Amino acid sequence: MNMKKNVIALGIAGALSIPAAASAVQIAGEDLEVYVKAHVSLDFSDPDNPAVDSQTSISSNSSRIGFKGKRQLENGMTALFQIESKVVFDESGSELATRNTFVGLQNGFGTVLVGYADTPFKDLGGDFTLFGDTVADRRAILGSGVGSSNAINDRATNMIMYKNMLGPTEVKILYSTSTPNDDVPSSPGIDNNDNALFSGSAVYKDGPLAIGLAIESQDNATNASPAEKVDGTRLGVMYDFGNFGLGAIYESLSSDDIAALDRDAYGINGTLKLSGNTKLQAQILMADENATTETGATMTSFGVSKKLDKKTEVYAIYTSTSNDDAANFQGVEDGHGDELKTVAGGSPNAFSLGFVHSI
């Protein structure tokens, strides 16, 4: 796909501020807090596949319950932990400790965490795009390739992460001794260092401006087939003008082993804030061709949302993905409970009515 043909289309979008951390209810002061996010939607989707009909579904989208705590130690350090679990509201099957779960220590030199957590590369993708966990989630394009969907948007297992604020810049560095799909270690009870993952980011925020850079290298890329080495770079920028915001993201994936994950992607997004806690949003994400022609795709999404109060929101979103003749990027990918696959050259689309409530 020729990216030059899409440059004019980029001008219609704008951006949203980086999401804040979830609120929580104290059970035993800061020693133990609980938080919940309930996100469900009614989806109407068309896979543009002659063998599959259009469908209506109820979807639970990255809903969760978490427990966290921190305690000041006598030596001045702070011990902390988090246990976060997936909750499925539309069917049975909730699972314990399936999301960011870790223990750590914190002092003036920063925070060190050990456990299972989103990589800095994955976090930056969410921070500089819109519609997270909805039918328009960025993971249908970013981190994906033809036949290798959502291949480099990971929670890292067996990880150790350092993070710190250096003035207005937050720095994160993560190393994992084995990638998430490394199910068979080199020997029983030993993590396979041949499948290591490195990820790092720096995000600068000063008033209305935010700029972020992230890199990642996986020696065994999740969901890639064959599972081989993939490197990635992401650069994001956003500016909040008050009632209007603009943002953009660039991603480059490179792999000598997996042609589908050797390509660039681009995106631009925007938010217009209206009265009554209502927002209009738009986003365009584009994957360029890899070494094979006609392997690009463009995902266009529009949405309106309204906050009923500080912790409750409703929304309506429409998204459509246009694949080149040899591309089959999904219409809806990871983060949203119900995905939407298509065929080569397909143009899947979805309309979603959603409800989000957090404590």
CB 151 within 8 A of CB 143: yes
More confident residue, 359 or 146: 359
What does the mean pLDDT of the chain come to?
88
Backbone angles phi, psi at 7, to 5 degrees: -60, -45
Backbone angles phi, psi at 186, to 5 degrees: -65, -30
Predicted local confidence at residue 190, as pLDDT: 59
Could you tell me the sign of the dihedral formed by the alpha carbons of 21, 236, 289, 194, in that order?
negative
Amino acid (1-letter code) at residue 316: A
Kindly tell me the burial class for residue 213, based on how many C-beta atoms sit within 10 Å of its own C-beta (0-12, 13-18, 19 or more).
Answer: middle
Residue 122 has pLDDT above 60, yes or no: yes
Residue 150: band (very low, low, confident or very high) from pLDDT cuts 50, 70, 90: confident
Predicted local confidence at residue 298, as pLDDT: 98
Rounded distance, CA 178 to CA 215, Å?
Answer: 17
Neighbours of 185 (CB within 10 A): 16
Nearest CA among 266, 178, 189, 190 for reference residue 227: 178
Nearest CA among 159, 161, 148, 206 for reference residue 182: 159
Give the start-to-end residue ranges of the domains of the chain.
23-358
Residue 222 has pLDDT above 70, yes or no: no
Residue 192: band (very low, low, confident or very high) from pLDDT cuts 50, 70, 90: low
Kindly tell me the burial class for residue 281, based on how many C-beta atoms sit within 10 Å of its own C-beta (0-12, 13-18, 19 or more).
Answer: buried
% of the chain beyond a pLDDT of 70: 86
Rounded distance, CA 97 to CA 81, Å?
Answer: 12
Nearest CA among 224, 237, 297 for reference residue 265: 297
Rounded distance, CA 193 to CA 182, Å?
Answer: 10
| CA terminus-to-terminus distance, the chain | 44
Tokens of 241: 């003008």
Residue 18 has pLDDT above 50, yes or no: no
β partners of residue 286: 266, 298
DSSP one-letter code for 288: P
Question: SS3 for 13?
Answer: coil
More confident residue, 258 or 107: 107
CATH class of the structural domain 23-358: mainly beta
Residue 261: band (very low, low, confident or very high) from pLDDT cuts 50, 70, 90: confident
Predicted local confidence at residue 4, as pLDDT: 38
CB 102 within 8 A of CB 115: yes
DSSP 122-151: HHHHHHTSS-TTSTT-GGGTTT-BTTBTT-
pLDDT tens-place string over residues 322-339:
999 999 999 999 899 999
Sequence-separated contacts (24+) of 222-227 with Cβ below 8 Å: 222/150, 222/151, 222/152, 222/154, 222/179, 222/180, 222/181, 223/148, 223/149, 223/150, 223/151, 223/181, 224/148, 224/151, 224/152, 224/255, 224/258, 224/260, 224/261, 225/147, 225/148, 226/257, 226/258, 227/181
Rounded distance, CA 159 to CA 69, Å?
Answer: 20
Kindly tell me the burial class for residue 126, based on how many C-beta atoms sit within 10 Å of its own C-beta (0-12, 13-18, 19 or more).
Answer: buried
